[in-house]
Structure 1
Amino acid sequence: MKAAALFLVTHGSSDRRSWLALQNLVTVARSQSDLYISGGCLEGQELSLSQQLERFATEVLQVGISEIAILPLFLLEGVHVSNDIPEQVAIAESNLQTTVPDLLPNKLIFRTMAHLGKASQIPSLLLHHFEKYTEQSNLEKQGRILMAHGSRRAGANQVVEELAKQSQAIAAYWGVEPKIETQIENLISQGTNKVTVLPYFLTEGGITEAIANKLKPYSDRIQIQQLPVPLSNVQIVDLALKFAV
């Protein structure tokens, strides 16, 4: 009998690729661990996250598991991590106490862990990802941009600024200034002849495609390259399982 369960939480989207990406992560995680593992999305699903969690909890309770570790697969701490996920977990806990009391000889424990972006390995993984695509000649004329979603909350983007600094890059944001266009123009004005852009997102999708479209107009002025998202499924799972134990 498995001793514990792990529930992965992603943002989710109406784009079906987000759900398929989560299912791929769950499959990889199951192949790497003896934990009872599933996952759910905050958005884009017919069931709310609390309902997805309740369904999973009912399954694991029936095989004798009474603790579920919940891991938010988010790179940055925003409203979803600080408010929405805890709220959905609390709803699931409350509902389970009334809907399946016969399966609760002891109180079911939900343990919500720190979000994935808190992993201590993230800075070195980002730097290594940049280095893989860096030409060793004319290093002084190459620029790096770490591109994140960004937040209007005071101080919320400081983590991205620090990660960019550790990666010898500058930060740009999708939703707030400085945006990618601003930072590219800054680098061009400094004499940079090549720019490498790393989208700091968990998976490829609509936003990474939109970033690529924003870079196209610069191709006749500067050598510009958009990198794939920094974490592979195997790396995400490896970090997730380290959180869970």
Structure 2
Amino acid sequence: MDPDEEAVLLVGHGSRRERSNEQVRELAAGLEDRLGIPVDAGFIELASPSIDEAIAGLAASVSRIAVVQLSLFAASHVKADVPLAVRSARSAHPDVEIHNGSHLGIHPAIVDLLDDRAAAVEAELGADRDEDEVAVVLCARGSSDPDANGDVHKLARLLREGRAFDRVAASFIGVTEPRLEETLHRVATARPDAVVVLPYMLGDGVLTERIREGAAEFDAEYPYVDAAAGDPLGTDSRLLDVLGDRWQAARTGSVEMSCDTCKHKVELDGYEEDVGGARAMLRAVTHRESHADREDVDDDPHAHDTPDAHVAVCTNQTCAADGAPAVLERLRQAVRDSDACEARITRSSCLGRCGDGPMVAVYPDGVWYGDVDESDAGRIVSSHLDRGRIVSDLVDVTL
């Protein structure tokens, strides 16, 4: 191994639609040409290689790896799933320096790219931004994280500043409000000459198609307004500018995340139950495992096919010394022997309860058992998982 050798792992979400995965690989190849160092692609879920597999492949030949995230905003994947995978990789490869970079976020190159996407739609509609009233609706996927949704509104504002748009409104295709249909109807009340709908997506998938359909329906319903949807970000070279900046920040340890409005860090109205690093980490584990058997449902690209329960066993140093590996294997055997439950048993990194373990967390119930030994594993399965009865004498905390 060359001690000075450095590599980048570009992490995409992952999709059962291979064209979306190829987009990540194409950007990885472009970034490799730009930086002049190895760049591999890895995926959070649904595609190969996974983050741990990709890091293992790079770790054999490099001493430093910078993880750069191909996510638009900082929601649960950025704040929980990827950090969890990086933390695990650091334990598996102690001789390799692994830095976790940030998401794409808000960047001048992205604002310029969106402006060009809008100009292409204006040309299609025959609109002149300097003469006609042109409104833009920036439509993102939508998240359960208010911090991520807030950045969509910020990006919309930046897109309007200094440009001759009549207005730029933020909207979402799912999860949160305002939804695209509602936003388009509201925009129509100002009677603009043209409405440009910009899908704030990386790929041309199911959600992008829904946005196009929404724009077409609006265009048909309002004959006095010309409306059309633009293209997603795709693999435009300006994304490489952003990724290059994110790589530089990662490798120099200067990554900055917004923690002041992160629902996992501070208590926000309506999101009180989401506060807590350990809780967020367990949610990430559960979410990651729940996607393992997901079906490829065309009309619901984020459908889940989940087990009845997910059980995470802390196998960090302290719990491992107290017998956690034996507890893990006994739980797995008990579940295999049971005819009454469907549960997934996995390892977990530290749950923050050192000295009270081995720790066993059962989700979605949010019950954490402490000081569990091998003989207790059968009770957890036969009572809690089989019959829904909590083993009260083992309970450490409930979330």
TM over 0.5: yes
Post-superposition CA distance 1:103-150 (Å, at most 9, x none): xxxx31111112112435333443344345443267553210011112
Query: Which residue in the other structure is 2:80 paired with?
Result: 83
Q: Is the Cα–Cα contact under 8 Å of residues 130 and 167 in structure 1 kept in the other structure?
A: no
Matching residue's letter, 2:105: G
Query: Which residue in the other structure is 2:228 paired with?
Result: 225
Q: 1:1-245, aligned counterparts within 5 Å?
A: 3-58=5-60, 60=61, 65-97=62-94, 107-134=95-122, 135-136=127-128, 139=131, 141-168=133-160, 169-175=168-174, 176-220=176-220, 221=222, 222-230=225-233, 232-245=235-248
How much does 1:181 deviate?
Answer: 0.3
Mean alpha-carbon deviation: is it higher for 152-161 or for 130-139? 130-139
Matching residue's letter, 1:201: M
TM-score (norm 2): 0.54
Distance 2:87 2:45 in 1: 17
Query: Which residue in the other structure is 2:394 paired with?
Result: none
Q: Is the Cα–Cα contact under 8 Å of residues 73 and 105 in structure 2 kept in the other structure?
A: yes
Post-superposition CA distance 1:133-187 (Å, at most 9, x none): 4432675532100111122333431111111112121000012111110011011
Compared CA separation, residues 6 and 145, structure 1 to 2 (3 A)? same
Post-superposition CA distance 1:59-117 (Å, at most 9, x none): x3xxxx211011001111100000000001111222234xxxxxxxxx31111112112
Matching residue's letter, 2:207: I
Mean alpha-carbon deviation: is it higher for 122-131 or for 194-203? 122-131
RMSD, aligned CA = 2.2
Mean alpha-carbon deviation: is it higher for 202-211 or for 34-43? 202-211
Q: Is the Cα–Cα contact under 8 Å of residues 198 and 230 in structure 1 kept in the other structure?
A: no
Q: Segments of 4+ in structure 1 off by > 4 A?
A: 137-140
User: Which runs of 5 or more structure 1 residues have no equivalent in the other structure?
Assistant: 98-106
How much does 1:240 deviate?
Answer: 1.4
Q: Kindly tell me the number of residue pairs found equivalent between the two proteins.
A: 231
Which one has a bigger Cα radius of gyration?
A: 2
Mean alpha-carbon deviation: is it higher for 77-86 or for 217-226? 217-226
Matching residue's letter, 1:76: F
Distance 2:22 2:68 in 1: 18
Distance 2:190 2:210 in 1: 26
User: Which runs of 5 or more structure 2 residues have no equivalent in the other structure?
Assistant: 161-167, 249-399
Distance 2:134 2:236 in 1: 29
Relative contact order: is structure 1 or structure 2 higher (C-alpha 8 Å, sep ≥ 6)?
A: 1
Q: Is the Cα–Cα contact under 8 Å of residues 195 and 227 in structure 2 kept in the other structure?
A: yes
Q: Is the Cα–Cα contact under 8 Å of residues 113 and 238 in structure 2 kept in the other structure?
A: no
How much does 1:17 deviate?
Answer: 1.1
TM-score (norm 1): 0.84
Q: Is the Cα–Cα contact under 8 Å of residues 29 and 237 in structure 1 kept in the other structure?
A: yes
More helix per residue: 1
Compared CA separation, residues 155 and 95, structure 1 to 2 (3 A)? closer
Matching residue's letter, 2:240: V
Q: Is the Cα–Cα contact under 8 Å of residues 50 and 92 in structure 1 kept in the other structure?
A: yes
Q: What percentage of aligned pairs have identical amino acids?
A: 24
Distance 1:226 1:205 in 2: 14
Q: Secondary structure at the match of 2:8?
A: strand
Compared CA separation, residues 149 and 139, structure 1 to 2 (3 A)? farther
Compared CA separation, residues 93 and 137, structure 1 to 2 (3 A)? closer
